[in-house]
Structures are given as structure tokens and as C-alpha cells.
Structure 1
Amino acid sequence: MLNGATVHGIAGIRGLRHPAEIPLLIAAVLTTLMGYGMWFVVISWLAGSSNATGLEAEVRSQFLDGGTLSQVLLVIPLVPLIVWAVRAIMYAQLRASSVQMSPTQFPEGYRMVVEAAREFGLRRVPDAYVVLGNGQINAFASGHGFRRFVAVYSDLFEIGGQARDPEALRFIIGHEVGHLAAGHVSYFRLIFSQLVGYVPFLGQAFSRAQEYTADNHGYANAPQGVSGAMGVLAGGKYLGAEVNTHALADRATREKGFWLHLSNWLSSHPINTWRAHALRDRSRPGRIMIRPPESTAWFPPSAPSGSGWSDSWPTPEQMLSVLESTTTSVPSEEQFGRYPGVSYETPRNELRWASPVPVPAGPAGPTASEAAYSTPAPAGEQQPVSYGYTPPAGQEDGPMGGSGTAPLSPQGPQDPHPDPGRH
């Protein structure tokens, strides 16, 4: 239920688990037990009410007429067998049609799997497969019996040429192996939390908590891959190198409203802006239900949010004036994506971690190299900082068990206080 066959004891790696995951797991287990309890009560009532009349007879007929209720009564006791069969078929399909990572096939990716397994204390190296992506950016982890495996879509390997970003792939593989280490694919965990997926909001919240836990594992395994992974998830394998992680994370604090929250509540994964915010600021856990407060933004806004009144948005003339008088702190030589086989002068991470706020253009403005290493102060701070954020005094380890806010360097976030005991 908790530990994915690691050496870290029955509770697994507590420091990397999102604080909401276990309470939501308990709610999921209770929901499933209540569902099976209700099934037993209904079956007992149907077996003992053969001579029922009136309303009771009418309700009984609804359960026995072969309709939806009858199908539900038949399927519920078969759920454990169905889950077992589905996992067996999926594993068989991977073994039959996918490319298995090994020391001789995709050895670099396989090494990432092995190193993540060692990092998280797995007793055995999981199987790993490359699946034809057909343009999809995805990866997943699962198991069958005592066997565990991860599958990575081929498009994640196509961040190729000199624009290739192996750290982004390392983060994603660490995320998937983290699902294994945290026990998320355990057969009994799935069985005892199966019915919660049919409870609106609760099932999705449970899934999002697990994803944050897996992100914590990905960060522990490859902190340098944060910006690349978020860029790929938000902008794709070519445009991903141009996605500014600060801008993405700050929008989590400014995009607000009921409908935006609803889009998160109905999602099995945290929305990208909230996810980027949680990965950038390691002093607090990722948000499950309510957006981060605007006080946690690091930079002033460079564009209005979609939740603002439309009369606050600039006119075309106003925005053209801004575009003509400012520039990005680190100009990109190809804003429409980075492609295999092409050399680019500006390092990816100078774009990803640059200030998202425009700077004056022309002789009065800073040079690209000066702007790259001197960002405007985060909202609420007075002094500029170098490529990141200095946490307020007293802000140390957060509830996720990670270090305080990770300072951002030109190479991405670092863990300033590594703690081997939590891995």
C-alpha cells in the first residue's frame, strides 16, 4: 500500500511523499470499503426479499431487470479480477511490441532507470520499455504481480541533436520510478482505492497528490531537469526549450477564478502552472485544491491574466509600444523551437530561467549576458538576486521533506541541503 518494494521500510520514503497523499489514500480505502459494504447489503436484501410487494418489489425489479444496476452488481465483485487481467494484458503487450531498454538498447535511458532505482532504494531494477509515441509526450509506470515496469513514449527521446535535453528525460524517468517506489502501482493499493475514481473531485485529488509525490522523486533524482520537463509538458519537444519556467510558475499565483480551479479539480494531474510553481519553490508542497497566493510570485506580471476584467487589457497600440521599447532579458535566436542538428548559441537554461519581465531595449538596456545573470527582484523583495530567489529568514525545510526554496542557477534548481537519509 505504501512501499514499492524498497529498502525504506513499510512507510516508504516519507520525506518525498506529498502530505495530502496518505489522508486521501485513507479516504479512498474507506470509500472502496463502503462501496463493497453497500454491495453486500444490497445482495443480502435481494436474496431475502423474494416475496416483496409494492415499492420494495418495484425497487427490487430495477436491480434484476438486466439494466445498469444489475450490471453494476455483477461487475463490482469482479473488479479485482478485471484489474489483474488488464495489467497482465498491458504488460504482455509491452513485452510483445515495444523496445525493451537494456545495456545494448537505449543504454543511456536504461542507465537513468537503474540509477533512479538505486536512488530510491528499489530492491530490483524495473523493466523499462520505449513505446511508439506517434507525437504524444507521455510516460507511465505500472506492474503485474511482483513485477514492475516503466514505459517511455519515443517522442521523449526525440529531444534530439544539440537541442537534446537528457536531464529532462532523467527527471521524467525519476518521476515514473518514483511512482514505483511510493507504492502507487501496488495491486492491493489499486484494489482498495479503485472505487474512489468514481467519486467526483475526491478521486482526482488523490491522483494529483500521487503525481506531486512522483514529482518530488523526479526532483530528488534530477533537479536540473525541472525546467526541461515542464517545458516539454507545456510546449512540446521543440518549443520546450523556449518556455520560461519563472513565467509559467508565477502565473499559478495570478490566474484565478472558479473555472480555473474547476479545471484543476477535474484533472488527474496538477495543471502545468501549479506544477511548475511547486517544482520551483521547494519550501511548500504542491497545491491540491486552491491556487498559490499571489504573494508567492517571484516577479511582477508582464501580461494581464485571463481572470482580469477585459478593460484592464492593453490596446494593440499600447502593447506594440511595449514590444518596440523592450526586449526579453535573454533573446532567443529561434523563438519557434529548437530542432535536431542545429547549433544554438544561447544555452537552453539561460532562456528557461531568465527573468520573464521585459527590459528596456537599445543602448540604455542591459546586454544579453548582463540580463541573464541579473533578474529583477521577486514581488515583495527590494534587492535583485542572481538567477533566483533567496528565501526569507527562517524559511527552512518545508512540509514536503525537501530543502528550502531551491536557488536557481543558470543550470537550473539545486538542492542546497542534500539529505541522503530521505532518498
Structure 2
Amino acid sequence: MFLIFAVIYGVIAWVLLKFLAALFRAHMFGNMVALTDEQFPELYTVFVEVSQKLGLSEIPQAFIYNSHGVMNALALRLSRGRYVLLTSAIVEAEEDAQLRFVMGHEIAHHVLGHLNSLKEFVRMPASFVPFLYPAYSRAREYSCDAVGASLVDNKRDAQTALQMIACGAKRLNHSMNPAAFVAQERHVPGFAGFCREILMTHPRMTRRVNRLISLFPEGKEPRA
């Protein structure tokens, strides 16, 4: 009886997840603007180039949506479809290399298998271990930052892209100082900063920028 009920509930959960995915796809295609070779072809060409350079044979579907000033991006997988959502504010970045970094970061989530349903199912028990899954999630973000940075010639563009997301002000883009931003880490309260960090799925921006600076020192190849 237990096995029968497990199968029934499993089928119900599967159908519900499929329906929710279809609802969100309906929202994306009905309310966001898809990047295609006919819609913003220059951006689409960069997106395709980044996807292919990272080894994806199936190009994710990218959308731009009105974020009301919020600078961010998101990778997601619905059923078998791969998607990348770019906010309207992040697309307004004045440096093409910064946007290239952001695209590379989100596409890397697909390339590295972070959104693979089977792998997520296998990793599910880790979510019941205190602090373990957030730590794994933070490691994923560091990995995707490194992949995104590898796609731009000037690694400072990757650093300032992260700082721009933290700042949210396009007007200040050319005045950003990654080293000064990283120096703010010294003022983070030690114990409180630790407690907050272990609960978060994303590392602090100061740490992410510092990580890129250490991985890509000026004029040198990235450390192994």
C-alpha cells in the first residue's frame, strides 16, 4: 500500500510541476521579450556566441524583462527547456564585456549541470543537512563567476559587473573601484557576517569580487 500511495503522490507531484512550468513559460512568452535573430539581433549574436563557446549545442532561450531598475539575471530550467532571464537594467550596462560576463555566468549554470533535474534530485538529501546546501550553492556562484570572467579579455570588466549589480547605478559605472569595494570586507562584523553568510545561497559581493581578483591577477593566467 505504501508503494502504491508513493507512486500516486509521485505522479501528482510530477503533473503539478509540469503544469507550474507551463504556467511560467506562458508568463515568459506572453510578458517578456525574447532574444532572437529578429529581436535585438546584436545581443542575440553575443548570447549565441557565449553559449557555443561554453560548449552548449542547444542554445538556451533568453528573455529580457522590465525589472524597474533592478540589475540582475537568472538561469532556470523548466522541464527540458533551458532559459536565461536578463533584467532590463542589466542590459543597459554601458560596457559590452560586462553584459558578456553576466551572460556567461548564467549560461555556466546550465553548462555545469547546476539546474539538472536528476542531479538536483540526487542532491536533495543535502538540503536537510544544516548549512550544507547553502554552502554548495555559494560554491556554484564562485564557479560561474570564474567561467563568466574567462570570457572577457579585461578581467576588470567582470569585477565591475558584479560591483555594478551591487551598486545598481549605471551612472557610476565608469567610476567603480573594485579594490575599494573589496576593502569594505574589513568592516563586516566578524561573527554577524559569518552567521549571515552560512545562511545565504550567494556569497557576499565583496567576496565574489575579491575571488575574481585573486583568480585573475593582472597579466597572469587564472590559478588552478
In structure 2, list runs of 5 or more residues that go unmatched: none
- Shift in CA distance, 418/232, structure 1 to aligned 2, threshold 3 Å: closer
Residue 141 of structure 2 is matched in structure 1 by 211
One-letter identity of the residue aligned with 2:46: M
Shift of 1:150: 0.8
In structure 1, list runs of 5 or more residues that go unmatched: 1-39, 48-73, 283-404, 408-413
Shift of 1:265: 1.1
Residue 199 of structure 2 is matched in structure 1 by 266
Shift of 1:147: 2.2
Residue 177 of structure 2 is matched in structure 1 by 244
One-letter identity of the residue aligned with 1:142: L
Q: What are the residue-to-residue correspondences of 1:142-291 with 2, within 5 Å? A: 142-159=76-93, 164-194=94-124, 196-197=126-127, 199-222=129-152, 223-238=155-170, 239-252=172-185, 255-282=188-215
- Shift in CA distance, 193/206, structure 1 to aligned 2, threshold 3 Å: same
- Shift in CA distance, 199/137, structure 1 to aligned 2, threshold 3 Å: farther
Alignment partners' CA distance in 1, 2:116 and 2:71? 24
Alignment partners' CA distance in 1, 2:109 and 2:20? 19
User: After superposition, what is the alpha-carbon deviation per residue over 1:206-265, rounded to whole angstroms, capped at 9, x for unaligned?
Assistant: 211111111111111123521331221221132344332001223335635110111111
Q: What are the residue-to-residue correspondences of 1:48-197 with 2, within 5 Å? A: 79-159=13-93, 164-194=94-124, 196-197=126-127
One-letter identity of the residue aligned with 2:79: G
User: Are 2:134 and 2:201, in contact at CA under 8 Å, matched by a contact in 1?
Assistant: yes
Q: What are the residue-to-residue correspondences of 1:327-342 with 2, within 5 Å? A: none
User: Are 1:234 and 1:240, in contact at CA under 8 Å, matched by a contact in 2?
Assistant: no
User: Are 1:126 and 1:147, in contact at CA under 8 Å, matched by a contact in 2?
Assistant: yes
User: After superposition, what is the alpha-carbon deviation per residue over 1:50-105, rounded to whole angstroms, capped at 9, x for unaligned?
Assistant: xxxxxxxxxxxxxxxxxxxxxxxx97885555444433332332122211111232
User: Are 2:70 and 2:168, in contact at CA under 8 Å, matched by a contact in 1?
Assistant: no
Superposition CA RMSD, Å: 2.9
Higher radius of gyration, 1 or 2: 1
Alignment partners' CA distance in 2, 1:266 and 1:82? 29
User: Are 1:232 and 1:241, in contact at CA under 8 Å, matched by a contact in 2?
Assistant: no
Q: What are the residue-to-residue correspondences of 1:309-324 with 2, within 5 Å? A: none
Instruction: Tell me the TM-score normalised to structure 2 length.
Output: 0.83
User: Are 1:231 and 1:242, in contact at CA under 8 Å, matched by a contact in 2?
Assistant: no
- Shift in CA distance, 258/89, structure 1 to aligned 2, threshold 3 Å: same
- Shift in CA distance, 198/246, structure 1 to aligned 2, threshold 3 Å: same
Residue 217 of structure 2 is matched in structure 1 by 406
Larger fraction in helix: 2
Alignment partners' CA distance in 1, 2:77 and 2:132? 24
User: Are 1:116 and 1:173, in contact at CA under 8 Å, matched by a contact in 2?
Assistant: yes
Alignment partners' CA distance in 1, 2:130 and 2:145? 24
Number of aligned residue pairs: give it: 218
Shift of 1:151: 1.0
Identity of aligned pairs, percent? Answer: 27
User: Are 1:91 and 1:143, in contact at CA under 8 Å, matched by a contact in 2?
Assistant: no
